[in-house]
A and B are shown apart, each in its own frame.
Chain A
Amino acid sequence: MNTTTDLKVVYFPSCINRSMGKNSFQSADDLQLTELTHKLLVRAGFTIIYPKSIDSHCCGMPFSSKGFAEANHTQCEALETALLKASENGKYPVLYDMSPCFYHSKEAFSEALKIVDPIEFMLDYAMPNLTVKNKKDTVAVFPVCSVKKIGKMEQLLALSQICANNVTIIDSNCCGFAGDRGFLIPELNEHGLRDLKSQIPANCKEGFSTSRTCEIGLEKMSGIDFKSIFYLIEEVTR
């Protein structure tokens, strides 16, 4: 896919991943996701472009979910402008590190930008330049709603199977964490993931997904370490 020596990517770290750090399973010397993504992209030979004033950007979804249509619109437009600039009007792909944010922008942006969801980016852009050196044995993988909505379930499975011998795809509706709803209405998350534990094989200690907030609820309801699939890819290509 990428044969050019000048591999450039615009990386847009979501506001969630910019503010929420590691989970309780991770140790002091583990990297937080934004740092890990940076490291992984460099390993895959990419030059990373960060959008200007990155800390002020968000896809708008937290506003949209709560019914703040105007604030959402303002955020969307500002982000699109910043990404157009950073990607030189769509010359370089833009990596999103969370599926829901990608989906939200995809719905709102014009065609000029080439934004790429975490699964597609890893499968089509990064993996061809990486070598899997130590495949994992057993992992659980959770397809978040946006993955189902953009029809990337099979790609998620394919990506997971490159990195692990036994992949359990969690069968579930929305996990019910729904952004920050899991903090406000924990019973929705508990109800949504009531069958989660029974789906995870006994020898499976790690789960992966593509949305930080969903991972909080998945960790809570499964009792195992749930984090971004980028961690899995980084570990097996180390």
Chain B
Amino acid sequence: MLAPSYQKLKDILSKSIDPKRILTNPLQTLAYGTDASFYRLIPKIVILAHNETEVIEIIKQAKLLDIALTFRAAGTSLSGQAITDSVLVVATHGWKNFELLDNNQKIKLEPGIVGARANTFLAPHGLKIGPDPASIGAAMVGGIVANNASGMCCGTAQNSYQTIADIRIILNDGTILDTADLESVASFKNNHNGLIQEIETLRDAIKSDEILYHLIKNKFKIKNTTGYSINAFVDYQDPIEIIKHLMVGSEGTLAFISNVTFQTIIDEKYKSCSLLIFNTIQDACNATILLKSRPVAAVELLDRESIRSVENDPEAPKYFKTLPESACALLVECRDNDLIVLHQKQEQIRFQIQSIPTYTDYEFTSNPKQYYFNWKARKGLLPTVGGLRKNGTSVIIEDVAFPLSQLADACLALKNLFKKYEYHDAVLFGHALEGNLHFVFSQDFSNQAEIDRYEKLMSELAILVVDRFDGSLKAEHGTGRNMAPFVEKEWGTKAYEIMKRIKNIFDPHNKINPDVLINPDPKAHLKNLKPMPESHAIVDKCMECGFCEPHCVSEGLTLSPRQRIVIAREISRLEETNENPQRLTDIRKDVTYQLDETCATDGLCALACPVYIDTGKFVKEWRANQINASDRKTAAYIGSHMAGTTAILRIGLKSVSFFHSLFGTKIMKALSNGFHFISFGKVPKWIPEMPKGANKINIKN
């Protein structure tokens, strides 16, 4: 039962949006309500919006009924910024248009385009988009911009904030601002004069406060996604430019992003990399500092635990197994469009760090096999932890950044902190060049003692990062619900007040993605934790990252692999706890079509899965569980009488094509529903493309 106001919203929107895309049943709201974070809220309504007109209508009607909205694209973010218990508006299907502009110097993208897909549009021109999150194969433009996502190579120079050329947004009153359209800008300035004035007032206040001004400048020298991008006030004078850049990293809390135009980036043709092993983390960090001024494309740090995760790989050098515990690796990448320059760069790098001893000699390689292995070592870290974790636990990826000069001390301090709280499976790696470190570890949220341990870790992490090293608590992954209680801690009261004012300017009633980024609850990061019940051995390691979704044929029709697993887990949980038999019944009612029948079991999901889960295999097992003994007998009979079966099929198909030529397509379609043979008692629907029967094979040569 929907609450009256939600029912009303559903009824009104059903007049202009296909009711099939307004979801309120328990199975679909849970499936679509799940993102890659370790938080869980279940939306009352999920709306699959296909265009701007629909979004404007949703915003206007929700506003009249005082209902909160959360906008989302792929749902690959990690900090809990894309979940809600109110109304979730999904902008994926229907948001796939793009346009190359200004001789390919710019690309206009709608929010439902996967990042990697945008790069395939640009690849023929030797170009790419700036942001390069590890999730680029699944993350979509809407989320990439809303989270100011970055990755291994883009640093702070080529992220969304730096490469955004224009944006088109829908504000909380349904107004559109398109910064690429002079008329739109002029009319916006006219109709929203108050908003413009408030932005200008904030700008002037920041620029006249020297301490605040420098704090902001300094904090954005390294990666930072804690709070809003208030560097917009420092970097820009024009209020439209400020608004444009405030939208980057706003995590869907200010407006709906309808399209974005990026400046494109040169994607260098030639690439080489080398895995340098140092005796200590300090040596590796000192080398990184020296490399900062050199033309490197990426410098990735891998601690001893990270190296251990690949030492059994057939490609791994033997000495990996005997490295000292203090060892630390740097993966250094060079890129250029000119092979000669590439080699010069490699030599410059070698010269730059010659004063620092390495454990072994190193060579740069462009050989696909070695190049791939080096990156596999770096990219295999998440699956290593994710795949080895105890069932029922979540994977946590901490994401902090430090001024480069402090990186070595910070690494050691972090390692000690994890030791102190007994996070023994933690691996440390990251984008060293940007001072950005990730810690991946597993966390049980199923009992209070474990939640308390996590709380202590987080409190102490905040002190370590902010007070001791002056770093960022969230470098890449966004504030979400996970870091919202710590924004003030990191930024100080003055800057935090400015952030609250920003929220108030764009969303005075707190109805656009409330509780994300700005959240007064000091324990918000410990609430609404996602249960991770055991369900089936094939899928228990799933991290719900969503990397599988772009590779699934039924995604968008029914469920994606991630969503199938979410539903299977919920059924297991409800069976185990027996807490809500009605909910279990309701979910079971839809599960056969949604989870089982529409899965093609093609296994392509496994190719994209960081922990190699083939959800198709799981669905086959699911089917096996649904089969009763008489069906099994039929299958065994058909199997043992294969010759007869194919003969029936041959003759059956021949008679169909005979009838087809007799009756024609139209009548055949009508007849087909009563016309069947294979499929183990199920009835294939006849279609005009149904093949004719084959002739028996003549095996005489």
Contact = CB atoms under 8 A, between A and B. Distances in A.
A186 B688 CA distance: 12
A114 interface: no
B207 interface: no
Interface residues of A, number: 58
Interface of B: 550-554, 556-557, 597-598, 600-604, 607, 620-627, 631-632, 635-636, 638-640, 642-643, 645-647, 649-650, 653-654, 678-680, 682-697, 699, 701
Interface stretch (A115-123, A124-132, A173-181): A173-181
Given A55-B642, A181-B600, A174 B553 contact: yes
B602 A66 contact: no
Interface in A51-73: 53-58, 63-71
Given A19-B650, A184-B682, A173 B552 contact: yes
Contact of A15 (B598, B642, B679, B686): B642
Given A68-B632, A174-B602, A21 B701 contact: no
Contacts of A24: 688-689, 691-692
Contact of B653 (A19, A50, A67, A71): A19
Contacts of A63: 635, 639
Most buried by B among A67, A183, A217: A67
A191 B556 contact: yes
A55 B644 CA distance: 8
Contact of B557 (A23, A67, A183, A187): A187
A77 to B, nearest CB: 11
Contacts of A22: 691-692
B600 A66 contact: no
A57 B627 contact: no
B689 A149 contact: no
B624 to A, nearest CB: 4
Contact of B701 (A48, A56, A185, A219): A48
A198 to B, nearest CB: 11
A34 B552 contact: no
Given A21-B653, A145-B602, A178-B600, A183 B693 contact: no
B601 A178 contact: yes
A157 interface: no
Nearest first, the 7 closest Cβ-Cβ pairs linking A and B are A183-B684, A67-B623, A67-B624, A55-B643, A178-B600, A174-B602, A19-B649
Contacts of B643: 53, 55-56
Nearest to B695: A32
A101 to B, nearest CB: 13
Most buried by A among B557, B625, B635, B679: B635
A66 B635 contact: yes
Contacts of B603: 145, 149
A17 interface: yes
A54 B699 contact: yes
Contacts of A174: 552-553, 600, 602, 604
A79 to B, nearest CB: 10
Given A66-B627, A220-B688, 16 more contacts: A21-B650, A50-B697, A50-B699, A66-B680, A67-B620, A67-B627, A68-B627, A68-B636, A68-B639, A149-B603, A173-B602, A176-B600, A178-B602, A181-B597, A192-B554, A220-B687
Contacts of B554: 176, 188, 191-192
Interface string A184-213: 111110011000000000000000000010
B229 to A, nearest CB: 35
A173 B679 contact: no
A145 B321 CA distance: 37
A74 B602 contact: no
Nearest to A183: B684
A238 interface: no
Nearest to A41: B701
Contacts of A56: 642-643
A68 B557 contact: no
A173 B553 contact: yes
B626 A18 contact: no
15 contacts: A18-B694, A19-B653, A19-B694, A20-B694, A21-B693, A21-B695, A22-B691, A67-B627, A69-B624, A71-B635, A176-B600, A180-B678, A184-B682, A184-B683, A219-B689
Contacts of A19: 646-647, 649-650, 653, 693-694
A190 to B, nearest CB: 9
A216 interface: yes
A149 B607 contact: yes
Contacts of B597: 181, 184-185
Contact of B620 (A65, A181, A217): A65
Contacts of B646: 15, 18-19, 55
A210 to B, nearest CB: 14
Nearest to A145: B602
B684 A180 contact: yes
B693 A184 contact: no
Nearest to A42: B701
A57 B641 CA distance: 9
Nearest to A190: B557
Contact of B691 (A21, A178, A188): A21
A17 B696 CA distance: 10
Nearest to A193: B553
B685 to A, nearest CB: 5
A50 B553 CA distance: 36
Contact of A34 (B621, B684, B690, B697): B697
A188 B556 CA distance: 10
Nearest to A223: B689
B648 to A, nearest CB: 8
Contacts of B623: 65-67
Contacts of A93: none
A237 interface: no
A212 B694 CA distance: 12
Contacts of B678: 180
Contacts of B684: 180, 183-184
B649 A149 contact: no
Contacts of B638: 71
Contacts of A34: 694, 697
Contacts of A35: 695, 697
Nearest to B691: A20
Contact of B687 (A58, A183, A192): A183
Most buried by A among B626, B680, B691: B691
A35 B554 CA distance: 35
Contacts of A42: 701
A32 B692 CA distance: 10
